[in-house]
Amino acid sequence: MGYFFSVGGCILSLLLPLPTATAKFVLFDNTKPAFDTEGRILDAHDGTIQRFHKDGPYYMHAVEYGLCQAPNITGCDSPDRCGFRLDHNLSVYTSWDLSSGSWAFQGYAFPWTERPAGTLFRPSAVFNPTTHEYILWWNYVYPNGTYAGFAVATSSKPQGPFEQRRAQVNIAHLPAGDFHLFVDDDGTGYVLYSADFWITIEELTPDFLGVSGRAFDGFRGNGSEWGFEAPVMFKRKGIYYILFGPMCCFCYQGSGIRVYTATSPLGPYTFQGDDIACASKGTFAATAHTRADNDGPIPTPEQGCLFYGTDQISTTRAQQNFVIEVQTSGGETEYVWTGDRWMQSPDGLKGHEPQYWFPLSFDEQGRIERVSWIDLFVLDVADMTEEDEALPLRVSQS
């Protein structure tokens, strides 16, 4: 299980239980950016982090935004289009324990010149157990600013290189934006996406290169379910979870998390009730640890938690990215929520904007409990490299 800490300038005294022979306790630090094995701040956003094989490393497929200067007004206002350039790379990293400093750069999924022209966002990678191929989808915007939808590439290896198979998937609703691929236990694939800020889930064809025509559109047509993006889907103990939040165009203040559950991947889905990451001001102590504390961007009206028309703020100061399924040494699964902290980099560079990680908790009915701000937490990450040796605590900035 995860061990939680909230630190406000005090010296941390950490007592850990005696690790088992295959346990590795990793300390994650949300007050600092994460680094790769070369000591560079990870320029990796919008992506997925997962293990494709039980004895293998974690793979990260993410967007490299580059080191342009992020705007100091609102997330979408940038004279040089920082965050909307046409040369975003799709990077692949691996790590055995998710810790900062352990992320090894494997290369680019493909050269940016070999993909459809446009601005690339939110890649999602999965393994197809039927074709035994790794499938990589990404969302992109044409150079003229029009949303193109999704492109698809395949590879025999999770690190690539990937070969483009389709420049545009014929999904039910266009234009489409943020999305996430999900593979069920029976090998069926699904795509969960936001189109014109409505959420839809569609079943994939067996090759995961298109959609089958079966879909759940129950979120559409209901005014309370409009205005959302950055969806994520996962399964736990027979329950399917869909999480998404209010629109947040690189918004500084962060967004919320609405939770829906079902017993079938195509629904119907039930709203858990209340946003679990938006809270009234003064209900918690949020720590930014960035230049944005004093002279940062202006919160974007009607974005993130402000979308509800209230003065609520995000407890995560982040927009949802992905939920990592972490295998512990005891064979259990921890679910770690991750979000991008837009416009909160330590040096103002777009590619250095950090993430916020938080281990989710569930009640006896399977409801996800509220997400709060924590500086540090400890996670038992099963060691896959030295199974007979108890390893020391590693420090991670996520």
DSSP string, 209-249: SSEEEEEE-TTTT-GGG-SEEEEEEEEETTEEEEEEEE--S
pLDDT at 112 (0 to 100): 93
Burial letters 212-236, b for 16+ CB under 10 A, else e: eeebbebbbeeeebebbbbbbbbeb
What size, in residues, is the chain? Answer: 398
Residue 49 above 50 pLDDT? Answer: yes
Q: Give per-residue pLDDT as tens, 73-82.
A: 788 877 778 9
C-alpha–C-alpha distance, residues 237 and 300, integer Å: 38
CATH of residue 236's domain is: 2.115.10.20
User: Cα–Cα–Cα angle for 308, 363, 282, nearest 5°?
Assistant: 40
pLDDT at 288 (0 to 100): 44
Share of the chain above pLDDT 90, in %: 72
175: region left, alpha or beta (phi > 0 left; psi from -120 to 50 alpha): beta
Highest-scoring range by mean pLDDT, 69-83, 310-324, 357-371: 357-371
C-beta separation of 16 from 3 below 8 A: yes
pLDDT confidence tier of residue 388, bands split at 50, 70 and 90: very low
Total number of domains constituting the chain: 1
pLDDT at 85 (0 to 100): 93
pLDDT at 193 (0 to 100): 97
pLDDT at 290 (0 to 100): 46
pLDDT at 74 (0 to 100): 81
Residue 352 above 80 pLDDT? Answer: yes
Helix then strand count (H, E) for the chain reads: 1, 25
- What integer is the mean pLDDT of 55-60? 94
pLDDT at 169 (0 to 100): 96
pLDDT at 309 (0 to 100): 82
Model confidence, pTM = 0.91
Between the alpha carbon of residue 298 and those of residues 234, 249, 339, the distances in Å are 33, 13, 20
pLDDT confidence tier of residue 11, bands split at 50, 70 and 90: very low
Strand partners, 338: 322, 357
Rounded to the nearest integer, the mean pLDDT of the chain is 88
C-beta separation of 64 from 43 below 8 A: yes
C-alpha–C-alpha distance, residues 390 and 130, integer Å: 37
Residue 286 above 60 pLDDT? Answer: no
- Say if residue 268 is preceded by a cis peptide, omega within 30 of 0: yes
pLDDT at 397 (0 to 100): 61
Between the alpha carbon of residue 287 and those of residues 32, 62, 90, 249, 284, the distances in Å are 11, 25, 30, 21, 10
Strand partners, 131: none
Q: Give per-residue pLDDT as tens, 231-276.
A: 999 999 999 999 999 999 999 889 999 999 999 999 999 999 999 9
pLDDT at 21 (0 to 100): 38
Strand partners, 346: none
pLDDT confidence tier of residue 221, bands split at 50, 70 and 90: confident
Between the alpha carbon of residue 222 and those of residues 139, 176, 218, the distances in Å are 25, 18, 8
Residue 305: helix, strand or coil by DSSP? helix
Q: Give per-residue pLDDT as tens, 169-189.
A: 999 998 899 999 999 999 999
Closest CA to 99 of 49, 26, 152: 26
More confident call, 295 vs 100: 100
Lowest mean pLDDT among 71-80, 84-93, 139-148: 71-80
pLDDT at 295 (0 to 100): 58
Closest CA to 239 of 52, 368, 379, 369: 368
DSSP one-letter code for 308: G
Give the count of beta carbons closer than 10 Å to the beta carbon of residue 206.
Answer: 14
pLDDT at 301 (0 to 100): 82
pLDDT at 296 (0 to 100): 67
pLDDT at 76 (0 to 100): 84
pLDDT at 38 (0 to 100): 98
Q: Which residues have a Cβ under 8 Å from the Cβ of 3 and sit 6 or more positions away?
A: 16, 377, 378, 379
First to last CA, the chain: 18
Share of the chain above pLDDT 70, in %: 87
